[in-house]
Structures are given as structure tokens and as C-alpha cells.
Structure 1
Amino acid sequence: MATGMTRRVVRALPVFALIAAPILLAAQSPATPLIINAAVIDGTGSPSRLALVRFAKDRIVDVGRIAARPGETVVDARGLTLAPGFIEGDSDGPTSRPGSSTVDD
């Protein structure tokens, strides 16, 4: 009985490998986004400038005149503004109270 079961498992392994390989490869190498044609505001007070922005995982790794790499997902942001690094400081979270303010009068 173990021999019959072993044969079935051995026969099923190539099929499993063909099905699993693309899934495992996709999970290991996520697409790297490259944003093109975005009006980038850097927070220094300078006017916005058209630039390309490359990400790796959750970080910006390149900004400026850069070329697309093979396998990158290109996102056209024409007509849109990108302001990386901005954090919304005016939020009504669970610790805020109605009528309270952090602004000194």
C-alpha cells in the first residue's frame, strides 16, 4: 500500500512544481514601481519639478532623471502631484477631545 501511495506522490510532484513555481517566484520578487511624470514637491519650498520616483519595498530609493529597469511597473502620474514624506499632523484620533487644541493662543 505504501508503494502505491509513493508512486502517486512521485507522479504528482512535477505537477505540483509546475503549479507552485510561478506563485513562489511572484511572492519572492514583488514588482518595483517607478512613478513617471509626477510633479514632485520636496517640502523645501522650491517649486514642484517633473521627476521619476523609484521605490524598493516601502522606501524611495531614487528621484530625478532615471531610466526604467526591466521588470519595473511603470505608473504614469501625469497631471498628479507627489509629495513624499509628508505626514498628516492634523488628525482626529482616538485621543483627541472635542474643543481641545495644541495651538497656543
Structure 2
Amino acid sequence: MEHCLLSAEEPADIVEALDSASWKQAMDAEMDAIVESGTWQLTPLPCGHKPIGLKWVYKVKRDPDGNIVKHKARLVAKGYAQRKGVDFEEVFAPVARMETVRLFLALAAHSGWE
């Protein structure tokens, strides 16, 4: 029951979010961060290609007492709509070997890093 009450303050879609100044501000902050970090650049869409859709994801951040401390909005790509062989050729997920992780942990412990 508590989860239902807490998540009720998060908008279901962009139309609902645009009715709130707090959510508009969170969306503006996300767009500013995207532009500032150079996350993407506008490019012409090649003929015969479809762009990947975008979706806003909303989350209310709370303190330990349950009070709202921040409205967080994230703009995410709908990567699940991509098709192998059409939109991409291969998938790559970089994973560190366990020996490498252990080496860095040992170096951090030895050097007193935090």
C-alpha cells in the first residue's frame, strides 16, 4: 500500500508532467545536462531510416522521513525497439575480468584510497 501512495506523485506521462512546475523544472535540468555534456548532436536522418524514440522517466527522491527532496526526470532512448541487422550489427558489453577487479581493490587498500 505504501508503494502505491508514494508512486502516485510520479506522473504517468509527459502530458501529466507538464502540468507541474516541479516536473517541468526537472525536465529542463535534464535537457540542460544533456546539452552541456554533449551527449548527442543533431544529425540528418538518412533516407529510409527511422529514429529511435525517446521516453521520459520520472522519479520522486525522498529523505529517510519520506519527504520529497527532489523531482528527477530522465530522458531515455527506447533501445528495445531496435532490430538486429537493421538498426545495429553487434552488441558489446564490456566486462572486467575478476583478476582485474581484485588487482584494483588490492591497490586501493594498499594505497589507502577511498
More helix by share: 2
More strand by share: 1
| TM-score calculated relative to the size of structure 2 | 0.21
| TM-score calculated relative to the size of structure 1 | 0.23
Q: Taking CA–CA contacts closer than 8 Å with sequence separation of 6 or more, which of the two structures ends up with the larger relative contact order?
A: 1
Q: Which has the larger radius of gyration?
A: 1
